[in-house]
Structure 1
Amino acid sequence: MSSLARNLQEQHSQQRQQAAQPERRKALRQRVTPGEKLIWAIFAALLFFGAVQIVSAQSEVYKVNKDIQEMKASIKEHEKANSDLKVQVKELSNYDRIMAKARELGLMLNENNVKVVQ
């Protein structure tokens, strides 16, 4: 009986040890609540919206810069054309050329009818 008593005593001591040890709970997976999902969805939407706004703003800046460059090129072309026309006006308003053209058309220079204006 001593072995039976010993077995019972060991079982009681094992039960006490098991009772003394806290039960190990399985680690619960932290689940994402619907509120957190909503917050993350709103954050993602705002992030996407901000990215789209930045890209569209950069696109507009690029377009305006391109228009500015085209206008500068157009202005340079017009300035060159104007300077060429000024040179042509100077060449055509040469006194000798005007006199030759006047004689060709039958006009004569009368020194008595010439008045000098200052």
Structure 2
Amino acid sequence: MGLEARKFDYAYIQEPEIPRLPESEPDVQPSRRRKIFTKGEKILFIIFAAGIAMFAVFLLQAQSSVNATNKEIQLIQQDIAETSKQNTDLSIQVREKSTYERIWGKAQELGLTLNEKNVKVVPGQ
């Protein structure tokens, strides 16, 4: 009950003033700002960036190797296609030139005659 009667008004309480020194040249101390990153963190960031750069270089080099290999494969496939076309053309020429009529005609041009006694039958392929 007695506590209720004692209400303090804190707005009127004065704080004691701190005596100030006359304004002469203040001691200038180098400002020690807190650095955002420490030296170790900077080194780690540099190592991390170098690692990413090396990874990117290796990735580009591997991609370049893959592209070069694909180009070689395409050139080889082109050579294979050209060679198979030549083989097909040559096999067609062989079939055309190995007909009985053509061989008989060439033999007659050279003055050969058919002698049944000298004919040997060779099994075909």
Same fold (TM over 0.5): yes
More helix by share: 1
1:15 aligns with 2:16: yes
The runs of 5 or more residues in structure 1 that have no matched partner are 1-9, 17-27
Deviations 1:40-77 (A, max 9, x none): 11000001000110011011111111111111111001
Counterpart CA distance in 2 for 1:117 and 1:41 is: 83
Counterpart CA distance in 2 for 1:45 and 1:59 is: 21
Deviations 1:11-56 (A, max 9, x none): x83238xxxxxxxxxxx54432211111111000001000110011
Of residues 54-63 and 104-113 in structure 1, the stretch that sits farther from structure 2 once superposed is 104-113
Q: TM-score, normalised by structure 2?
A: 0.70
The runs of 5 or more residues in structure 2 that have no matched partner are 1-11, 18-32
Q: TM-score, normalised by structure 1?
A: 0.74
Following superposition, the deviation at residue 89 of structure 1 comes to 0.4
The residue that corresponds to 2:65 in the other structure is 60
Q: Percent identity?
A: 47
Counterpart CA distance in 1 for 2:108 and 2:81 is: 40
Of residues 44-53 and 102-111 in structure 1, the stretch that sits farther from structure 2 once superposed is 102-111
Amino acid at match of 2:75: E
Q: Please tell me the root mean square deviation across aligned C-alpha atoms, in Å.
A: 2.0
1:70 aligns with 2:71: no
Counterpart CA distance in 2 for 1:85 and 1:68 is: 25
- Structure 1 runs of 4+ with >4 Å offset: none
